[in-house]
Amino acid sequence: MGIKDVLSGDNAFYNRPDYEEITRQAMGAHEPPEDFVYTHNTEYPAWRIAKDIISIVVFPIGICRVIHSVAAKFGILPASISLAYRGESHPTHLRSSIQLNKELKMKRLSVKVDGYTIDAAIMGKASTLGNGRWVVYSNGNGELYEHNLHRCSFEQILTELNGNAIVFNYPGVAGSKGMPNRAAMAKAYRAILNLIEDQESGIGAREIIGFGHSLGGAVQGEALRSHQLKQNIKYCFVKSRTFSDLSSTATNITGLKIFGFLVRFFCWNMSSIKSSMNPDIPEIIMQTAGVYEPTDIGRQPDLVVDDDVIGADVSLVKKLLESGLQPSSNKYFMGIPEHHNDPLEDLSRAHLVNQINHMLAL
């Protein structure tokens, strides 16, 4: 029985009499489940082994990978969250404490890609899980997917979109396995996207909304550079308060060019610009602006302001508008009053939902 087969109907996972017991057991486990798995490999296992051997034999490559992994684990580089200060029990506690006796249904699953195991979860209502509309959420720095299991604001936007969500942690973060790095994070995103797109073995979505906040918008952008969108699926990608490239942002935040250099040296320099310049990718790009309510800033880049984390000059919105990219039916630039980590207020959320529905209807 495939994943799509258990999302709705008599065989739906939430219709089982032991749904709460099984879900609580899976959520409380340290490791993602091995009995509900989607696999999407892009390279041969022999090539992965060869790369590992090369990294050991060629000393500079090996030491660079070790430093890279340690730096990411301790939050020096953006692996989404540093477990050093939260402890490995924190994500498990978040999963174990979710309320299962409510309308929103949840199921934990594993996504395997090129030797990585990605810990993920499905969220949706019984009335929507079979409707083909899915949100894939990519975390900002300091976020876990487990946070969204508890956020009323996330549940509210799913309700207003009449959609469902799949949330996940990047490689090396919480229950996801593998060494965290820029390429692995993009690969994980593409694997999740394939899971949602796959009409045979996956979820079989008809509409996909990619929502990436901050670092998550950059991961989304990196992934879309080499992902072929499907002709029979409608897409809308949202980048919320995202930087143009990580190197410039590191320099902007610290005021020291050495940090921008280190980001490039360790191959962490994510850039959202290239994929966003593609006119065929439908996008809503949001950034904090000097406005009191959500506003179209497609021809007003001077309204963009610092959002308390990302400076206006290194924001994706401003870089794109200054590069000459014009607003179009596929590109909407949305100024919002909320700062970097503020949840969207009612007006901004309603405006965003309307714009998403408009793009998906084109």
Reading across the β-sheet that carries 207-213, which strands appear in turn? 37-39, 104-113, 116-125, 164-168, 133-138, 207-213, 234-240, 283-288, 331-336, 295-296
| pLDDT at position 181 | 80
Q: Please, what sign has the CA dihedral across residues 8, 9, 13, 14? A: positive
37: number of CA atoms within 13 Å, CB side?
13
Tell me which amino acid residue 43 is.
E
| pLDDT at position 88 | 53
Q: How far is Cα 356 from Cα 245, in angstroms, rounded to an integer?
A: 25
| pLDDT at position 82 | 44
Bridge partners for 106 per DSSP: 123
Angle at 267 between CA 261 and CA 272, to 5 degrees: 90
| pLDDT at position 61 | 53
3: number of CA atoms within 13 Å, CB side?
27
> CA torsion angle for 220, 80, 296, 298 (degrees, to 10)?
-60
CATH number of 4-361: 3.40.50.1820
| C-alpha dist (Å) from residue 19 to 11, 16, 92, 93, 293 | 12, 5, 19, 19, 42
| pLDDT at position 212 | 96
| pLDDT at position 59 | 47
Query: Which ranges of the chain have pLDDT less than 70?
Result: 1, 43-89
Summarize pLDDT for 237-269 with one digit per residue, the tens. 999 999 999 888 888 888 888 888 877 877 778
Tell me which amino acid residue 210 is.
G
| pLDDT at position 81 | 46
Q: How far is Cα 117 from Cα 267, in angstroms, rounded to an integer?
A: 22
DSSP string, 81-138: --HHHH-THHHHHHHHT---SSSEEEEEEEEEETTEEEEEEEEEETTTTTSSEEEEEE
pTM here is 0.90
DSSP string, 285-298: EEEEBS-SS-EE-T
Summarize pLDDT for 54-101 with one digit per residue, the tens. 555 554 555 565 655 555 555 545 554 444 434 456 888 899 999 887
| C-alpha dist (Å) from residue 273 to 131, 289, 311, 320 | 32, 19, 16, 7
| C-alpha dist (Å) from residue 300 to 8, 289, 318 | 45, 10, 9
315: number of CA atoms within 13 Å, CB side?
30
Which residues have C-beta within 8 Å of that of residue 205, sequence separation ≥ 6?
A: 132, 133, 134, 196, 197, 233
Q: Give the β-pairing of 116-125 and 164-168.
A: antiparallel
**Could you tell me the residue ranges of all domains in the chain?**
4-361
Residue 140: how many other CB atoms lie within 10 Å = 24
Q: How far is Cα 346 from Cα 286, in angstroms, rounded to an integer?
A: 15
Q: Give the β-pairing of 116-125 and 104-113.
A: antiparallel
- Helix or strand run (H / E) with residue 275: helix 273-276
Q: How far is Cα 65 from Cα 342, in angstroms, rounded to an integer?
A: 35
Q: Is the CB of residue 214 less than 8 Å from the CB of residue 340?
A: yes
DSSP string, 279-336: TTS-EEEEEEBS-SS-EE-TT-GGGB---SSS-GGGBHHHHHHHTTPPPBTTEEEEEE
Q: Is the CB of residue 77 less than 8 Å from the CB of residue 266?
A: yes
| pLDDT at position 198 | 95
